[in-house]
Amino acid sequence: MMIRRELGRFALMAEAKWIGKSLSVMIYGGDVPHVGAVSVAYPSKSEFRDASIVTMSTLSLPGHKDYVVSGPLAERLAKALNTPVVVTVGVHIDNASPQDLETVVAEIESMVDELASALK
């Protein structure tokens, strides 16, 4: 499944693919799409109480801030879909203003909500 959103001078893409019972999601776009951060999240049982939790790990390339988005989204998807999830994010916008960044993050969150709803 792929979602594309046009935001003025640039576009964002979110692609999701089931790999067995696991989900791989790629979010990229802006002026220079790339791989900036990769987060893995999976549901597990708490060792300390009778509850389900989501465990998450992130790797970020030097100088990239994409982990700010990849980690929380991987956790959200793993919890919502009760499955292991890998989220790769790489969005770069030249000379982005704080408002540009807020808009991009909000749009990515909306795209991920749409993916989660469609994949349930």
7-51 pLDDT, tens digit per residue, is 888 899 999 999 999 999 999 999 999 999 999 999 998 888 888
User: What pLDDT is attached to residue 47?
Assistant: 81
3-class SS at 69? Answer: helix
11 in any annotated domain: yes
DSSP letter assigned to residue 93: -
Domain containing 66 equals 2-110
Q: How far apart are CA 46 and CA 38, in angstroms?
A: 24
User: What pLDDT is attached to residue 50?
Assistant: 83
115 in any annotated domain: no
120 in any annotated domain: no
Q: What is the mean pLDDT of residues 52-62?
A: 95
73 in any annotated domain: yes
117 in any annotated domain: no
Q: How far apart are CA 104 and CA 81, in angstroms?
A: 24
Task: Report which listed range, 46-55, 83-92, 94-103, is most confident.
Answer: 83-92
53: domain CATH number is 3.30.230
The number of helix segments (H) and strand segments (E) in the chain equals 2, 6
Q: What is the mean pLDDT of residues 99-107?
A: 92
CB 4 within 8 A of CB 11: yes
101 in any annotated domain: yes
Which of 2, 76, 66, 79 is closest to 35 using CA atoms? 66
User: What pLDDT is attached to residue 51?
Assistant: 83
* Cα-Cα end-to-end distance for the chain: 13
pTM score, whole prediction? 0.92
User: What pLDDT is attached to residue 120?
Assistant: 83
106 in any annotated domain: yes
For the chain, the domain total comes to: 1
